[in-house]
Structure 1
């Protein structure tokens, strides 16, 4: 594959992946704002209690097999059918497991409502499972345009149904309606957009081969989901339901930007990195480029959200969510290294070293456990500050192996990010001054965003930052398409 062709494919893939993720996140953000204005923190807290059970079940259902299909070069139709059949069987098993576990989950949290909520929300497992292979096929083809269409349809349908439910007084059930209707719309649209139709064939040999690679991703995924949601269990068990609602909203707002960029980079670059895994020079070129562009985008964005957290929360969600402000400010800094960390880990999967991916992930377990022991008794704010510390240390750990294998580790990555930190600091000083001297929240938000972004881009221009030119060139090339 020639460099020009590779760059064209990667650019097109990133463009449509970005359209997908940002359109979906903006849509979900608008819907979440509307729902938050109608519902109360306790409603979000109840759903937050169930997040870990749904997430762990979904991880088992996928079992890293979709990633295994993308990474494999000699995949066949029997491989796809094998994964499809496994997804169906696994989703049925875990739904039954959740159905009969519902009373115990309800008893643990002392929330009688959870019995029916678990049993209905669990249907999303089956709805998502029937379209995993279709989405994988589109990813392999780098057809992110079709994936974008499916996801946008899901957000529109799910959001509409959820908001209608909230307006009509369904409370927490409007969030369940939103999830199920969105999953159904996504699955149906993926079946229409994908040219692949399953055959009910299952090959033990194919499954064993794919699971050999995917099992490490499964274990790592289970570990990640467990750690990502274990705080929900602790907050739901030992703190008022509203506290969990504030925590999940802070996390959701922070992930709107960081999580979106992570998804764009991972989805678009994984098949490209996999295609050039045998060419070290190309691999490092793409990989380092994505690190720099991610830092260029995410560091100023998260800093701006932290500085303008007060007008964002009060204007969008109303005064009843004022407790969210300091939590959001800390949470965005806990996510500031997330895209760069994800790229470092994604590289290991792309070169077929899911075993190293797992080892790196597990090596961070003592750090996370220590943070939990220290912060959980201290409250929600302390927990999020703990996230900030563990996130920074995790970046250093995640960058170790890529540095050892390809010579582009944490020190070189941070050195590349230094101009971005300088430009962000200049932006932060200006935005802080605007917020200090202007009391009107709407003006704070408008002027802070406008002049903050302008100041950042101007300083980047003064520093002759290559990423600014790269983003501008990509924008111009996409305009011509």
Structure 2
């Protein structure tokens, strides 16, 4: 019988994951601007295109088997080993076909220069998928502290290596080295932490019970991947590598808050929801609390970045990237709009609603790709980012309707509860944006403008939070007191 994990276990693991992502965020906050100053937009663009292909094939190679392994309550060793070898076999096959078709694929995607990179980066597929089973074992044990430690080490070492290589003129290969270095160190760490040792056992009949759930998860993951990566392909094809590079740099920076909070929370919530079984009350409480907390943390960061995008782009990336500040601001805005949906995907996955998850993800992928392509075809990069904001606003309503209907939560009350902090963040951002004109006239320095904007934004958001989220704050305070009492 699977162990029952309560709020304490979940929050502890979320804390470890957030701590890991925060450390990585601090390093990326320094290294991404350095790399942007050392490398050109074209170099960022060509690596981003190649990485998109590799990530897509890695997702297909996993085939959702490890997700199904997490959902399975009682797992024997033969099943675990069979999933490992099935994943590895698919990964090697994907790697071979990518290597063979790298040049025509790069041309098809509008980046012929990416052919040699794709051939080298094809090796990332088996390197990344080899660690999936080890990570799954840690997730089933809700032991995320060790994964957090190794993720921090791998990302830190890889980022430093990339900066050193870029400084010495290695160009795009600095970014490629960063990817390989991070994947290899994390792979070693996962095996060390999980103490998993693959054995030569492959029993296809053990995989059969996993295929039903894994196929739905795989389909939804592919659709989600298209949603997040299609803008890069569309922009490269319709607007060129320079715009693709500007989008890549802005997206890397705008995604850092999500990587700190959202990635950590989603990684813990999926196994947590799967272990709650049919306990609807616990699921509903966990869903609403996790949604509120992630929105409280993410929304002000994203909307605040939109408010100070102009001085931020100049101060962080240099005058050569100053023209791309509207892209950074609109990307941050699009991510801010979608923050209340941050827990919906792990909820649908963890509660076994694979079909609902699949069709929701497919519809979102189609609408997102079509909207950005239409805007890029008839306009420019800024128009494409505006289209992304509109699509995400519609997605917020759609995903909320789907999830609240599954959990039997009234749509209006659910939206009000989950989006209240996002509305606070919007009000804060508008106030800061309105004040930026006075800051620019008086300060005339992007660094001072950033400091002034952040201070004003923090003050306004803090006041709004105290006025509208007192119930949530009391609940979190009580949770902290309970944890402290248990520790004592």
Q: What's the TM-score once normalised by structure 2's chain length? A: 0.92
1:358-437 alignment runs, 5 A limit: 358-377=358-377, 378-408=379-409, 410-417=411-418, 419-421=420-422, 423-428=424-429, 430-432=431-433, 434-437=435-438
**Further displaced range: 359-368 or 467-476:** 467-476
| CA drift at 1:447 | 2.3
The answer to whether residue 434 in structure 2 is matched with residue 444 in structure 1 is no
Is the CA contact 1:296–1:417 (under 8 Å) kept in the aligned structure 2?
no
Matching of residues 81-92 of structure 1 within 5 Å: 81-92=81-92
In 2, are the aligned partners of 1:330 and 1:388 still within 8 Å (CA)?
yes
State the Cα distance separating 1:230 from its structure 2 match.
2.4
Counterpart CA distance in 1 for 2:93 and 2:84 is 14
- Provide Cα deviations, 1:278-322, integer angstroms capped at 9, x if missing partner: 111111011111111122222222111111112221111101111
Task: Report 1:51-450 matches (<5 A).
Answer: 51-108=51-108, 111-377=111-377, 378-408=379-409, 410-417=411-418, 419-421=420-422, 423-428=424-429, 430-432=431-433, 434-438=435-439, 439=443, 440-450=445-455
- Offset from partner CA, 1:243-297 (integer Å, 9 cap, x none): 0001112222222113433212211222221111211111101111111112222
Query: Does the C-alpha gap of structure 1 residues 375 and 9 become closer, same or farther in structure 2, counting only changes over 3 Å?
Result: same
2:473 corresponds to: 468
Asked if the contact 1:82–1:203 (Cα under 8 Å) also holds between the matched residues in 2, the reply is yes
CA spacing shift, 1:133–1:152, aligned 2, 3 Å? same
Stretches of structure 2 lacking an aligned partner (at least 5 in a row): none
TM-score by length of 1: 0.93
1:456 has 2:461 as partner: yes
Deviations 1:58-93 (A, max 9, x none): 111211111111111112212211111012111111
Tell me, in whole angstroms, the C-alpha distance in 2 between the residues paired with 1:59 and 1:461: 42
- What is the RMSD of the two structures over their aligned residues, measured on CA atoms? 2.4
List per-residue Cα deviations over 1:126-173 (Å, max 9, x = no partner): 211211111111111111110111111111221121111101101111
Distance 2:138 2:185 in 1: 17
The Cα shift of 1:189 comes to: 1.4
Q: Which SS does the other structure have where 1:335 is aligned?
A: helix
Residues 336-366 of structure 1, C-alpha deviation per residue, up to 9 Å, x if partnerless? 2434324223222111121221122223355
CA distance in 2, matches of 1:443, 1:395: 35
CA separation in 1, counterparts of 2:180 and 2:366?
Answer: 36
Structure 1's unaligned 5+ residue stretches are: none
Deviation at 1:373, TM superposition (A): 4.5
Give the aligned length: 480
Preserved CA contact (<8 Å) 2:288 2:418: no
